[in-house]
Amino acid sequence: MPIALVVHGGAWDIPDDQVEAHHAGCQAALKVGWQLLRQGASALDVCEASLRVMEDDPIFDAGIGSVLTTAGTVELDAAVMDGTTLRYGAVANLRRIRNPISLARKVLEGPATMLVGEGAEQFAIDHEIPLIENHELIVERERALWEAWKASGAVLHHGQPRNIQQIADPPYASEVGGHDTVGVIALDQHGNLVAANSTGGTLFKLPGRIGDTALIGAGLYADSQIGAAVCTGWGESITRVALARRAIDLLERGLAPQSAAESAIRSLARQPLGGSGGCILLAPNGQIGMAWNTRRMAYAYQVEG
């Protein structure tokens, strides 16, 4: 049984001056996870360790460096799913947790499957996961972008800033950090497949908004008999088509991982309201698939042999 690991750092219009940093961040997460896999660590341990590297890297929209809400705060979501037991843990609307993936891992152990907000943070305290202040998650890049948006007099339209595109375009583009989920899929020596992800959400989102990341079947899904998928992109559009489960269904019908990934992304774009993003797939035999319809997707992977 081959071991395998694939990570992504978001699918969006990654600016030219951030490509190298995204590449380095994905490679760093891969290096940590691969070393653990080679030592015989479980896929669960590997996913948590790899994602913590990305949550601690301010280039990504996860953990430290995440984008800000309209209120100027950071709110984080994360989830993990064990493909052997089909157990999962999900957390959302976290404001005082540095590494949401570690809390999601604790939730996976039960008795709940998804915790949000204050309840999730109390669960963290009960399991000796320390809380931090929200401002510790904010980097100057994102603070400056939020202040520029506020100064522009932007108004909300259907829950999003009406002029979000103008803010994201030059001259602000080089100031913007990662705008998507980070994710990991690991296949360990025992054939266990685990999928995990973490995010700060969308730029200037409404406080309390939850996208696809913490939703099983939308942002991620794992079944060790079939495969695992992790998605990234515009969360609302990903959720409408249950993108992760759709990709797994395609694998179950016999498509190769690459074909399944490409087909899933085509379905994302075909929905009435459109959709943009990407996905990574990993089959039980170690085959990888990945596709995106954005300008770029950051990723790295390694398969034994």
How confident is the model over 177-195, as a mean pLDDT?
A: 88
**Band (161; pLDDT cuts 50, 70, 90):** very low
Catalytic residues: 181
Closest CA to 22 of 216, 304, 231, 295: 295
Q: What is the pLDDT of residue 164?
A: 45
Give CA–CA dist 106/232, Å, rounded: 23
| pLDDT above 50: residue 92 | yes
Q: What is the pLDDT of residue 1?
A: 77
On average, the pLDDT of the chain sits at 92
User: 10 Å Cβ neighbour count for 225?
Assistant: 10
| pLDDT above 90: residue 163 | no
Domains identified in the chain and CATH numbers: 8-303 (3.60.20.30)
- Higher-scoring residue by pLDDT: 179, 207: 207
**Band (171; pLDDT cuts 50, 70, 90):** very low
Which distant-in-sequence residues (6+ apart) come within 8 Å of 71 by Cβ?
A: 207
Closest CA to 9 of 33, 37, 31, 28: 28
CA dihedral for 229, 1, 303, 33, sign (positive or negative): positive
Q: What is the pLDDT of residue 165?
A: 45
Q: pLDDT by residue (tens digit) across 204-234?
A: 999 999 999 999 999 999 999 999 999 999 9
Give CA–CA dist 263/256, Å, rounded: 11
Q: pLDDT by residue (tens digit) across 232-270?
A: 999 999 999 999 999 999 999 999 999 999 999 999 999
**Band (129; pLDDT cuts 50, 70, 90):** very high
